Structure 1
Amino acid sequence: MLLISNLSGVTETSWVGTAMRESVPWARTVGVEFVETTAERALVQLPDEPDLRNHVGGPHAAMIFGLGETASGAVTLAAFAHVVQRATPLPVRSEIAYRAVARGPLTAEALLQRPAADVLAELDAGRRPEFDVAVTVTDAEGRETTRMTVVWTLRPNR
């Protein structure tokens, strides 16, 4: 089982980065680094590689979107891995705002916007819950370059 708990009942989530690199080839291919992951927050980084840049010298928009979506997936996995036997986490839709030209390595912070217990209560009631994950992307100087929201669902397994 992916989820590991210590004796005090606190959920341990250090496995998430490894699981994401193994199950999401894109993240491995472009070198996404999983810095921190909890059931409420994920912090991931994308190195500055010339092959990932756009026509103005910053990371291509596809790389920025992929980083943000990957961060949102990491926090989702950490929060809901214990229910994957009965529900599959899936992104439903996203919205992204590119606020400034990004330069250099990027960091994406993803925050679960709804208590996991509320999402699980909906699932337990027989509904297909949706929940937002807010993502902020910053560049090497700490400037916010991008904001996005990824809406996820837990689709009950048949």
Structure 2
Amino acid sequence: MSLDVGALMLETVPFARTLGVAFDEVADGRALCRLPDREDLHNHVAGPHAGALFTLAESASGAAMLSLLGDQLSRAVPLATGATVEYRKLAKGEVRAEARLSATRDEVVAKLDAGERPVFDVGVELRDGDGTLVSTVTVTWTLRPNRS
């Protein structure tokens, strides 16, 4: 199955499209995404709003997950079930997100095959235009098996 994960994300997650999230690289449980520096996305201290940063991170995590497990969409629905966010520094300029799946494809698919609902994390680092780490996010995902 050939899946254009970035296009799928922009089609199915309108808010990511509204914010202008770009999906630069998506493959093998990893995603590199970016959020443009737009004044309408800024907060009261002239950096990207926390909600925009979270959306970037959550979108990157979903893309990383789909890059490894997108072929399972016919049998399960991916759902984010929780997240931990740490805002470390004020971001300036464009922000880039790098997301990586913590579980292997084999681990997740084995749980689905066993009739279980796999739960796994995707870690995301957000860096501003200078490469400064501005936020870390861990998004917890599950694949809810489709009901027959």
- 1:92-140 residue CA offsets vs partner (Å, 9 max, x unmatched): 1000000111111000000001111101101111110101000000000
> Which residue number corresponds to residue 82 of structure 1?
71
CA distance in 1, matches of 2:132, 2:19: 22
Determine if the alignment matches structure 1 residue 48 to structure 2 residue 34: no
Counterpart check, 1:132 vs 2:100: no
TM superposition shift of 1:87: 0.6
Asked if residue 95 in structure 1 is aligned to residue 79 in structure 2, the reply is: no
- CA-CA distance at 1:39 after TM superposition: 2.6
Q: How does 1:134-153 map to 2 (within 5 A)?
A: 134-153=123-142
Given the alignment of the two structures, is residue 117 of structure 1 paired with residue 102 of structure 2, yes or no? Answer: no
Structure 1 segments (4+ residues) deviating >3 Å: none
Give the counterpart letter for 2:59 in structure 1.
T
1:52 deviates by 0.2
What is the TM-score of this pair, normalised by structure 1? 0.91
Q: Which runs of 5+ in 1 are unaligned?
A: 5-12
Tell me the TM-score normalized by structure 2.
0.97
Shift of 1:80: 1.1
2:86 maps to amino acid: A
Gaps of 5+ in 2: none
Task: Give percent identity, aligned residues only.
Answer: 48
2:24, 2:33 within 8 Å by CA — same for their partners in 1? yes
3-state SS of 1:37 partner: strand
